[in-house]
Chains A and B, each alone.
Chain A
Amino acid sequence: MTESRLTDRLEVAAHTRNLALVREFLHNAIKRSALPPSDANKVVLAVDEAVANTMQHGYEGKEPGTVEVIVDADSERFTVRIRDSGHSFDTAAGSVEKVTMDLQKHVAAGNKRGLGLFIMRRVMDEVSYRSREGERNELTLTKYIKRPG
């Protein structure tokens, strides 16, 4: 079972009260996947950060919309796609500087910004973003189970 391909999808209203549902959905998907249990909490956290960002800011000033969370996993990777129709925001951009910033200095100064992005990049092996006219925005987060090569 764990060696076969797993796909699953959840669509919820873009409201932070649904974050718990998203986390439960992910935990259930991870249990059915080949992702090691030791990575489960970290991957759920990274996806929660991404979905929370979309829920909090994606639809600001727009009609309330939805967020789709799509899991696609096999024996080599656990991938989560997060789709929305809100504002385009390239979560993947600028991430290198966020990862290499002096985090301790950053938080000691009382600075809370950028922590979610830091977590996403720290936990996941690939983070990419796609926004095209007429299509939903899509953030893809991938965690390797077996490293390529």
Chain B
Amino acid sequence: MREFEINLEQLSPDVTMIHVAGWLDAHTFEYMEQTINNLFDEGKVRLAVDLSNVEYISSAGAGVFIGTLSSSHERGGDIVLLNPTEPVKEVFDMLGLSQVFKFATTPKEALAQLKK
């Protein structure tokens, strides 16, 4: 089982896709946070995050997205989450995040959401 892995993909000239895999917990969330901060520093503020391979998320991991949402808006960007797994959905529902974030099931749909 992978502990944690992040891969970046340029989905369009101004949209970056972050593929996340493994456990997003109090140990790994800082890598995720750092990755996003680095993208913001590069001016990449429109983000699509692929959660289809995240096996576990705790409040520390969810907190990264909460912080990212407001930071991206402040920079004129936005964030869309793709295909969260059941354990991730369960935590998002519990924390009321399912109503706060935009979700997509395909990269095309994510791009459309980020153009709004």
Contacts and interface: CB of A to CB of B under 8 A. Distances in A.
A107 B25 contact: no
Given A41-B90, A115-B95, A107 B100 contact: yes
Nearest to B90: A41
B94 interface: yes
Given A20-B25, A41-B87, A115-B62, 9 more contacts: A41-B90, A45-B91, A48-B25, A55-B26, A104-B99, A107-B96, A107-B97, A115-B63, A119-B95
B59 A107 contact: no
Interface in A89-128: 103-104, 107-112, 115-116, 118-119, 122-123
B76 interface: no
B58 A45 contact: yes
B109 interface: no
A107 B56 CA distance: 20
18 contacts: A20-B27, A41-B87, A48-B25, A48-B26, A48-B58, A49-B59, A52-B25, A52-B26, A104-B96, A107-B66, A109-B70, A112-B59, A112-B63, A112-B67, A115-B59, A116-B58, A119-B59, A123-B94
B26 A119 contact: no
A16 B27 contact: yes
Tier of interface size on chain A: 20 to 34
Contacts of A123: 94
B90 A19 contact: no
Given A19-B26, A19-B27, A45-B91, A52 B63 contact: no
B14 interface: no
B58 A42 contact: no
A42 B90 contact: yes
Interface string B71-113: 1000000000000000100110011110110000000000000
Nearest to B27: A16
A100 to B, nearest CB: 13
Contacts of A55: 26
